[in-house]
Structure 1
Amino acid sequence: MLNTRMTVIIRELMKADTPVTSEYLAKVLDVTSRTIRNDVRELESIIADFGAEIKSIRGTGYQLIVQDDHLFRQLLQEAADNKREQNSEVPTLPEERVRYVIKRLLLSEEYIKLDDIADELFISKSTLQNDLKDVKDVFRRYGISLKSKPNFGLKVKGEEFNLRLCIADHIFNNIENEMDIDNNHVPLFLKDDLDTIRKIILDRIIQHNIALSDIGLNNLVIHIVIAYNRIKNEKYVSLVTQELAELKKQQQYLVAEEIVNELQRELGVAFPEEEIAYITIHLLGTKMVTELHLDETKIQGIIDQQIYEIVKEIIDTVADDLHLNIKDDHELFVALSLHLRPAIHRFHYGINLPNPLLDDIKAKYPAAFQAAVIAGIVLKRRLNIDINENEMGYLALHLGAAMENQKIDNTPKKCMIVCASGVGSARLLASKIQSKFGSRIEIVGTTDFYKIGKIPLDSLDFLISTIPIPQDMPIPVIQVNTILGGSDLDKIEMVITESLNQRLKYLKEELVFLQMNFATKEEVLKFLGDKLLTLGLVDDQYLDSVFEREALSPTSYGNFVAIPHPLTPKTDSTFWTICTLQKPIDWSGKRVQFVCLLNVEKNSSTDLQSMYDLLVQIIDDSQVVQQLIKCKTFKEFEAIFRKA
């Protein structure tokens, strides 16, 4: 049956439109090309019985060909079922091994020998030692350390509250619904216990009108499941007296008491007072109000003055830094106000609400995510809290919706028709264009070529002409046939949507560096920053801003791509500085070989998301990225960029 590597190979072949090289697959899996060739040979013999084959094209790569779709889907279903049933499957990818070791250490009450873990994973002790560096980095973020005892091994050491948060994030990670919890095979609970806990919570939150998303509900269930099982093993949280007293004043403490009374009655486990406070903390991290149709006076009655002022500062700062017209967006103000109150409690106690959309938000809506990063800076300044990426993702959803609303512009594009064949032809042309584009375009009139000099061009967005116009014009000129054809309409469409060859205007030969040999992201960024400084395109504070942005949230988006940029726009124009690498480097947990240092013009009202969309269109295609990485000259690079 398919192992993990084979499953990844199948996935990469399925999503590719063109043949995939063994070199690319080796990069994805972090193994040698020889290992890939061996895996593919074994894979070919398996999928042959399921109506498919892998065609090897010399010098090009591998291509998946499916002859029997029904049979092949059966293989995919069996592979998915097998993965769920065999939770004990030995991890093969480095990140899977790290997750395995984290889980193993968190769930063990005793010391564990490194030799035993190495044997379980079928790896050398030196490979495990290397993985252990990443494990320690994860634990360090929770204030957890590894206690070492000669001849006994390793054991986790930390505050109970922090250990529980780590268990929630790294054992119950990426759980979005009840089925996911059931299928996660976590050896911490019985199914009956889970059902009981879920029912008790649901009864209480419905009775007290606490509004919870499915993700929020599962998050609460997970934390109480963990608490219940830790208490059974006499592992209790501890809180300082003052903190406990403050939590007991909250309305949510009464709800937590009711939940605990039911839990004690149904499960027969005694919850100390601190454990009631622990549940209160998680209830404080949930939304208590869902109505958005509130005026500003009512909002001020629901939230305290501090949050009201912070939300106003967030919106003003984002609007000023990114030149967005969102200051009067009432719906955004209400949404952020209601979101921030429970979010601040989560920040305070380190509770991580999973965000299954995070990778998609970062990759496809980077402008909205950048707005969320700016919001995070305001929160840091006002409350001295560092919000995590999941929370930034939720803020980006609210800010992104406001940015999309701002883009809904019903103002038509104004144009004039230049026609040399008379009024009749011009009127026919105008009618055809108007019927095609409707309210998106306003034809202000027609003119002969010799009268162009008398037209106030500053009031127009573009010209449509049936004849060549030799002189340079300050606005776009679209040359079409007198009797419009399909390609003529496409030209007009491209100008209306402002996408005509836009991507090439951001690409400059002197700012493209191919096949560079760097080992770290710091080396890459310093090299690119120094180049821009030498060319006089940035000042000496520029690089600090890039590193500051990177520290808030890594800009590696998968697919071997990173798009770093300064915290706020620093340059006098918008351009891309590109660097490809001979070998992938580690960029905050993701491998990167294509770096696009993004610079956006200061004080520009240009739509940032549109420029991002042009770039994402290129880097979203793994095959195009690999072609760009292989380029040795700018001419090759530009040709692929132009065609992509």
Structure 2
Amino acid sequence: MSKMQRILQVATYLLEQPKGEYTNSRKLAELTGVSTKTVLKDLKSLEIRKILGNATIERKEHVGIRLIASSDQRKKLANTLYELLRTDKLLLPSSLVDSNDFEKICLVLLQSKDGVKKEELAAILYRDSSNLDAVIKETERFVAQFEVKLSKNRASGFELAGKEERIRELFRNIILQKIIIDKPDQLGHQASGIYLPIKKRLKKIFDHTILDFAIDMIDKAELNLNERFTNYDYEILVTKLCIKISRMKLGKFIQTDNAIDESIREHLVAHLIIFQIDEVFNLEYSLYEHKDLTEIILSTRRINQKTKEDAVLLDEQVFHEFILFVESGLGVELTSDEELKKNLLDHILPAIRRVRYGIQIENPLLKQIQLQHTDVYVSVLTGIGIIEKAEEISFNDAEIGFVCLHIIAAMNRNSKQGYIKTIFVCDEGQAVTSFLASNIQKAFPEIKIIERVSSDKLSPQCNEADVIFNATSAIIRYENVPTVSVTELLNEGSMSVIGNWIINREYEKLAGSADTLKDSFLYYRDQLSTKEELITKYSALLEEKGFVDKDFGPSALTREQTIPTTLGRGIALPHGSSDHVIHSCILIIKLEQTIEWSGHQVDLVFLTAVNQKDVEFHRSFFEQLFKIISNESLLNEIKSIVDVEALKKILFPTK
């Protein structure tokens, strides 16, 4: 008989005894076929404490052993024993076969009121206690990432020490990190509620009464808020509420008193949930837990948020300037995209509110955005200061990541609407003309065909085009608009002609600003030990050369405290406020040794000063920056050069 089977048999026997009646260890030893010493050890074990829940076992010397439990506790224990005996499944964490040993240890400690002895941990992991040291060290390293310590008390055993908020964050990380959420982040969760793989995992970890209660409370929160949470945030809310209840039941409470406006609706919804927690689980009211739950609800993204708190709208001109800045940097049309404007405002307005309350939102796609859509991330990162200045706030990287998602969605949605405005002239009839025009746009995303016409119906709109593609024999001339002749049915040669024209156009555009760009890329090699030292030193250099004013450096340092500007691949992109930039420039610093930069190791720094008023210069400037940071081989080449002239030969080769 295994230890778990013994414990289940003992718990069942005690439950079946007449209420208040005692038994003895010898009787239990005979029942399970072990010594009385082993029985007494089993009665103190973590496994039986988990099975009993709020019920307890009393052991009186010379009297005996009995179960102390209310009627409700006895019913709950009976259900637990029935489920365990029926399915023969082990309790957490052994049921979590996809968890590492150090994660199992964490989950045991996170759900334990007192310490857990080494022998108990060894039994749960099916290890000999003498072979547990390596796992314990791994656990220490893991929990340290969350500013939590694994402490050991000789009497009670191992326990987690640190702020309760950080311990709960550790718990949440372990629960959700194994679930790969690759489904689209739909507008709201489905009628079935929580994502099935997450629900299965939560069922393994939490008592079903806690999980069912948490789901019910979050559903009611949606009704009270008159909004639906996004899929990801719905699941985060359920998970965090399960953790909150579990920890509160253990007597582990948050002690941080956060400043929250008690008049906001999220505070009222949190009050209703906390009241229900107190009622259902017989827990005392906690003001700190109430405020913490308010913050958790505030940190969510929801659908169609229209609140009194958002009544002061973002200035329309400020919003337009931000989109124009991103549009100019990326070279795509965004300002006419009404869907983007609506979706972006629906995120930015509550985001401003969250930032003002100091609420951190979670973004599971942030790293993917930074690596796969670096150009969009950099454009938003450098342009968001327009909104920050107007609202006197500082966005964090997670919020910026969500803004990027809206921009990326708009770019994908409007991928056929390029930035080269084109007239397509064709005399082959509407069906053929439409077909050929779609082939051009499919082959060349840069092209946006603003009009398809026959040669006898050319309109004044031609003067607004960047180019006319003429697939007829007619001679078409406009003073300021180039005409490119192609064959009637756009054979392979004609597609090459179009492609070559685009390449030449881009080169000529870049060459036109090449002299200015060359003077705006500075290169240095240095040995520095901190990011603060680097930003201070080179901001002063930019001020000396007339690129920025004296407040640029402090603004760059302030931004680093809010938004880590690391992009992966050993790159950092610090930048100051555009208000303090006189002339745009990029200063590239190759470090001889890597330095720590917001948790990353960095050896190539792009200190960027962007003057958003340099509209003509803006896109070429960013094109060169994106050319560098998106090309691994070019990055390596830049790291190996020795002076700025070598850099310019790489970035501005002669045609």
TM-score by length of 2: 0.55
Q: Quote the residue 2:499 is aligned against.
A: 490
**Cα separation, 2, equivalents of 1:493 and 1:193:** 64
**Cα separation, 2, equivalents of 1:534 and 1:515:** 18
The answer as to whether partners of 2:587 and 2:607 remain within 8 angstroms in 1 is yes
**Cα separation, 2, equivalents of 1:563 and 1:326:** 24
**Cα separation, 2, equivalents of 1:633 and 1:523:** 22
Give the unaligned 5+ runs of structure 2.
Answer: 1-95, 119-129, 182-194, 425-435, 442-446, 454-462, 470-478
Q: Quote the residue 2:382 is aligned against.
A: 370
Which of the numbers 229, 233, 245 marks the counterpart of 1:228?
Answer: 245
* Percent of paired sites with the same residue: 18
What is the CA distance between 1:377 and its match in structure 2? Answer: 4.6
**Cα separation, 2, equivalents of 1:462 and 1:166:** 56
Deviations 1:369-423 (A, max 9, x none): 33445434544x3xxx6553223333444567679999957772599xxxxxxxx
What is the CA distance between 1:560 and its match in structure 2? Answer: 0.8
**Cα separation, 2, equivalents of 1:585 and 1:317:** 35
Q: How does 1:89-168 map to 2 (within 5 A)?
A: 120=134, 139=147, 156-158=161-163, 160=164, 162-163=165-166, 166-167=169-170
Q: Quote the residue 1:4 is aligned against.
A: none
What is the CA distance between 1:571 and its match in structure 2? Answer: 4.6
Cα 1:245/1:578, change in 2 over 3 Å = closer
What is the CA distance between 1:547 and its match in structure 2? Answer: 2.4
**Cα separation, 1, equivalents of 2:440 and 2:250:** 71
Q: How does 1:362-511 map to 2 (within 5 A)?
A: 362=370, 364=373, 365=376, 366-379=378-391, 381=392, 387-398=395-406, 412=421, 440=449, 488-495=497-504, 508=518, 511=521
Instruction: Name which of structure 1's ranges 367-376 and 503-512 shifts more when overlaid on structure 2.
Output: 503-512
The answer as to 2:538 corresponding to 1:528 is: yes
The answer as to whether partners of 2:102 and 2:136 remain within 8 angstroms in 1 is no
**Cα separation, 2, equivalents of 1:517 and 1:186:** 53
The answer as to 2:285 corresponding to 1:272 is: yes
What is the CA distance between 1:226 and its match in structure 2? Answer: 1.5
Q: How does 1:254-273 map to 2 (within 5 A)?
A: 256=273, 260=277, 265=280, 268=281, 270=283, 272=285
**Cα separation, 1, equivalents of 2:625 and 2:510:** 12
Q: How does 1:193-212 map to 2 (within 5 A)?
A: 195-197=211-213, 199-201=215-217, 203-205=219-221, 209-212=226-229
Which of the numbers 572, 588, 592 marks the counterpart of 1:582?
Answer: 592
Q: Which has the larger radius of gyration?
A: 2
What is the CA distance between 1:590 and its match in structure 2? Answer: 1.2
Cα 1:244/1:353, change in 2 over 3 Å = closer
AA matched with 1:491:
N
Cα 1:244/1:341, change in 2 over 3 Å = same
What is the CA distance between 1:605 and its match in structure 2? Answer: 2.7
The answer as to 2:564 corresponding to 1:547 is: no
The answer as to 2:366 corresponding to 1:353 is: no
AA matched with 1:358:
L
What is the CA distance between 1:596 and its match in structure 2? Answer: 1.9
**Cα separation, 1, equivalents of 2:508 and 2:413:** 20
**Cα separation, 1, equivalents of 2:600 and 2:567:** 8
The answer as to whether partners of 1:478 and 1:492 remain within 8 angstroms in 2 is no
The answer as to whether partners of 2:523 and 2:647 remain within 8 angstroms in 1 is no
Cα 1:285/1:597, change in 2 over 3 Å = closer
Q: Quote the residue 1:7 is aligned against.
A: none
Deviations 1:445-502 (A, max 9, x none): xxxxxxxxxxxxx9995899xxxxxxxxx99999999996765432212256679657
The answer as to whether partners of 2:115 and 2:153 remain within 8 angstroms in 1 is no
Q: How does 1:246-325 map to 2 (within 5 A)?
A: 246=263, 252-253=269-270, 256=273, 260=277, 265=280, 268=281, 270=283, 272=285, 274=287, 278-286=292-300, 289-290=303-304, 302-304=306-308, 307-310=311-314, 312=316, 315=319, 318=322
Give the unaligned 5+ runs of structure 1.
Answer: 1-82, 91-99, 292-301, 416-431, 445-457, 465-473
Q: Quote the residue 1:219 is aligned against.
A: 236
Cα 1:104/1:551, change in 2 over 3 Å = farther
What is the CA distance between 1:215 and its match in structure 2? Answer: 1.2
What is the CA distance between 1:157 and its match in structure 2? Answer: 4.9
**Cα separation, 1, equivalents of 2:605 and 2:293:** 44
Q: Give the SS at the match of 2:561.
A: helix
TM-score by length of 1: 0.56
Deviations 1:284-307 (A, max 9, x none): 54466528xxxxxxxxxx432764
Q: How does 1:514-525 map to 2 (within 5 A)?
A: 515-525=525-535
The answer as to whether partners of 2:421 and 2:450 remain within 8 angstroms in 1 is yes
What is the CA distance between 1:218 and its match in structure 2? Answer: 1.6
The answer as to 2:572 corresponding to 1:558 is: no
The answer as to whether partners of 2:176 and 2:198 remain within 8 angstroms in 1 is no
- Count the aligned residue pairs: 486
Which of the numbers 76, 100, 120 marks the counterpart of 1:87?
Answer: 100
AA matched with 1:369:
L
What is the CA distance between 1:585 and its match in structure 2? Answer: 1.5
AA matched with 1:354:
E
Cα 1:210/1:273, change in 2 over 3 Å = farther
Q: How does 1:585-600 map to 2 (within 5 A)?
A: 585-600=595-610
Q: Greater relative contact order (Cα 8 A, min sep 6): structure 1 or 2?
A: 1
**Cα separation, 1, equivalents of 2:231 and 2:237:** 10
What is the CA distance between 1:105 and its match in structure 2? Answer: 9.7
Deviations 1:411-452 (A, max 9, x none): 72599xxxxxxxxxxxxxxxx9999578648999xxxxxxxx
**Cα separation, 2, equivalents of 1:103 and 1:494:** 62
What is the CA distance between 1:556 and its match in structure 2? Answer: 1.2
What is the CA distance between 1:355 and its match in structure 2? Answer: 0.2
What is the CA distance between 1:632 and its match in structure 2? Answer: 3.6
The answer as to whether partners of 2:465 and 2:481 remain within 8 angstroms in 1 is no
AA matched with 1:592:
V
**Cα separation, 2, equivalents of 1:476 and 1:241:** 62
Q: Give the SS at the match of 1:592.
A: strand
**Cα separation, 1, equivalents of 2:261 and 2:579:** 44
**Cα separation, 2, equivalents of 1:591 and 1:315:** 35
**Cα separation, 2, equivalents of 1:411 and 1:84:** 55
Q: Give the SS at the match of 2:578.
A: coil
The answer as to whether partners of 1:112 and 1:153 remain within 8 angstroms in 2 is yes
